[in-house]
Structure 1
Amino acid sequence: MADLNDKHVLILATDGFEESELFEPRQALLDAGVRVTLASIGTDPIQGVVNDSEKGRTIAPDLTLDQVDIDDYDALLLPGGVGNPDKMRLEETAVNIVEDFMDDGKTVAAICHAPWMLVEADVVDGRRVTGWPSVRTDLVNAGADVVDEEVVIDGNLITSRKPDDIPAFSKALLEKLREDVAEAV
């Protein structure tokens, strides 16, 4: 199995992230030896939610959006929650980060409502994706081929529908990072 100790994944999130969609993939990455950095609008702890209805855990970002240098990262993880991607897609710097990762062919993994960020960055036209049911019309309108599957991989883009998909989503992201290591050898 490929060693992932040299891999570095950026997570973009702010208040309103779905707790499980940030913490569980993050932990899977850390357990595999991947370095993980969380960037947000500010550096104050951000508030997660559970099922978009009750407060979840908080986490302190490592840096702000304007401090991100995408050359430092191998992949981008976008957790969902309704509030999180809705706020982040209004942040020009966050949208530019998504665009830059996609333009560079780096892995971008988005789950649940996070594909809103992909729509805002205008990077789904002609791509096969999935997402939370209420986001699917936005994806179709942005030119995506939307399917209802646990995890969808289209080149460097990985998407999933909901918290129940996290194990498959995390596995797909780790496999993509391992493929990148194997290709670099």
Structure 2
Amino acid sequence: MFGSKKALLLLANGSEESEVVITVDVLRRAGIKVTITSIEANREALKCAQHTVIVPDISINELSTDDTYDVVVVPGGEKGSEAMAKNLAVGNLLQQHYEKGKLVAAICAGPIVFQSHKIGLKNATITAYPECQNDLKTDYNIVDQPVHHCELKTADGERHMITSQGPGTAFAFALKIVEILDGSSKMTKKALVFIANGSEEIETVTTVDVLRRAEIDVDVVSIEKNGQDALKCSRNVRVLPDKVLDDVKTNQYDCVVIPGGNDGSKAMAANTEVGQILTKHYEDGKIVAAICAGPRALLAHKIGVNHKHTITCYPSVRKEFIDGEPYKLEAPDQVVCHSKQTAAGLNSILELDTLEKQNVYRLVDAEGREYHIVTSQGPATTMAFALKLIELLKGKDESTKVKEGLLA
């Protein structure tokens, strides 16, 4: 329950006010109890980087060693971060929570506070404000991502760190904190399902149906120039889309889905806007999913071609792929969840999936970036395909609940 979750956000003169207020606002909307804590010896109002004055809830001197929070948050702001980096009480607080396996989070210039107080040195992968990254490279692996969650496994337990780049990524930063504290994300998940003339109607409509049963917010997006006119699918069922390509922001979804259908998938493979949306979501670590003939669009737009992803597809479409270049083709009767971590030289099978004729691939590269591609074979595997997407987006329990309701 979020009502029992507690967050401490540190505040100093010179902290970046947007990062402070956005984080506090979003966490409180999620029902997390947030305490704005001044690093000064009293509760006097503090002047932020752009001269907004914020009144803290308490002073750091009022904390006892018994006080524990589910997350400690360090906002950016050059002067504010420098002050926190020099503050021994801040260091003790961060070390206490980090070593207990609690979440610590920093945005913008905030990671220099982690560096100063030796939080996750040498092992952690982080992001930060671009101008700070050179100074951080000596002690961390740096990734160029809006938000990064680093999870380290040590001999005495797990360590968790979230970092983010700046004011423009503050919403994503706060939402990631909410997601991690919830365990499966309290915030509504969103999916985009493309549709074109010639898309396979079972794969399109059933995927939408199943995802919406899990309360995933699904947009059916037409790629056609005739806007929101009804589209004729491969077996002549007409479907009215929710949106057109011009309505879509390229990074607003947790999952992007390409249905099959010979003509529809060819149209998606030829559409540059579809390619841009797929590329953006894939590179941001979101789920990209394709079924039946849909994987030909992944190939056309070079999604994950540098990472040797394993895929499956409709049997007659396999001839369009050369096994191993750029994808490894999974045997039709195999379904595997792979994890490949190039940094550690690992390539291992984590679990054998019980759902037949689909493939789920999660890849972690040398810099800690995650990439996700889900593929499936055809109309008869659509329900399993959609249930797997629910599992990845909202957890196994939610997928099982929907499956039972469908009598699947």
| TM-score in terms of structure 2 length | 0.41
Over aligned residues, Cα RMSD in angstroms? 1.9
Question: Residue by residue, what CA displacement relative to the aligned partner does 1:97-148 show, whole Å, maximum 9, x if unpaired?
Answer: 1111111110111000000110011124300000012322333364100012
TM-superposed deviation, 1:5: 6.5
Distance 1:5 1:46, change over 3 A: farther
Range with bigger deviation, 131-140 or 93-102: 131-140
- The aligned residue for residue 153 of structure 1 is 360
Cα distance in structure 2, aligned partners of 1:6 and 1:166:
23
| Aligned AA (1:98) | L
Cα distance in structure 2, aligned partners of 1:66 and 1:89:
18
Q: Comparing both structures, which one devotes a greater share of its residues to helix?
A: 1
Cα distance in structure 1, aligned partners of 2:279 and 2:185:
28
Task: Tell me if structure 2 keeps the 8 A contact 1:75–1:107.
Answer: yes
Cα distance in structure 2, aligned partners of 1:73 and 1:124:
18
Unaligned runs of 5+ in 2: 1-182, 335-356, 363-371, 396-408
1:175 partnered with 2:391: yes
Cα distance in structure 2, aligned partners of 1:174 and 1:32:
7
| Aligned AA (2:203) | E
Cα distance in structure 2, aligned partners of 1:72 and 1:58:
27
Cα distance in structure 1, aligned partners of 2:200 and 2:391:
23
1:118 partnered with 2:298: yes
1:144 partnered with 2:327: yes
| TM-score in terms of structure 1 length | 0.87
Cα distance in structure 1, aligned partners of 2:270 and 2:186:
33
Unaligned runs of 5+ in 1: 180-185
| Aligned AA (1:170) | A
1:23 partnered with 2:230: no
- The aligned residue for residue 10 of structure 2 is none
1:80 partnered with 2:256: no
Range with bigger deviation, 106-115 or 63-72: 63-72
Cα distance in structure 2, aligned partners of 1:78 and 1:97:
11
TM-superposed deviation, 1:90: 1.3
1:66 partnered with 2:246: yes
TM-superposed deviation, 1:49: 2.2
TM-superposed deviation, 1:67: 2.4
Distance 1:164 1:18, change over 3 A: same
Task: Tell me if structure 1 keeps the 8 A contact 2:193–2:257.
Answer: yes
- The aligned residue for residue 47 of structure 1 is 232
Cα distance in structure 2, aligned partners of 1:140 and 1:67:
35
| Aligned AA (1:144) | Y
Sequence identity percentage:
27
Range with bigger deviation, 130-139 or 96-105: 130-139
TM-superposed deviation, 1:59: 1.6
What pairs with 1:85-100 in structure 2 (closer than 5 Å)? 85-100=265-280
Question: Residue by residue, what CA displacement relative to the aligned partner does 1:36-57 show, whole Å, maximum 9, x if unpaired?
Answer: 101112221111123xxxx2x2
Greater C-alpha radius of gyration: 2
Question: Residue by residue, what CA displacement relative to the aligned partner does 1:13-49 show, whole Å, maximum 9, x if unpaired?
Answer: 1110111000111100111111110111222111112
Cα distance in structure 2, aligned partners of 1:160 and 1:140:
18
Helix, strand or coil: the match of 1:154? strand
Question: Residue by residue, what CA displacement relative to the aligned partner does 1:47-82 show, whole Å, maximum 9, x if unpaired?
Answer: 1123xxxx2x22222222132113321111111000
> Bigger relative contact order, structure 1 or 2, given CA contacts below 8 A and separation 6+?
1
- The aligned residue for residue 289 of structure 2 is 109
1:7 partnered with 2:189: yes
| Aligned AA (1:174) | I
Moved over 4 A (4+): 1-5
Distance 1:105 1:60, change over 3 A: same
1:135 partnered with 2:329: no
- The aligned residue for residue 165 of structure 1 is 381
Helix, strand or coil: the match of 2:270? coil
Distance 1:88 1:120, change over 3 A: same
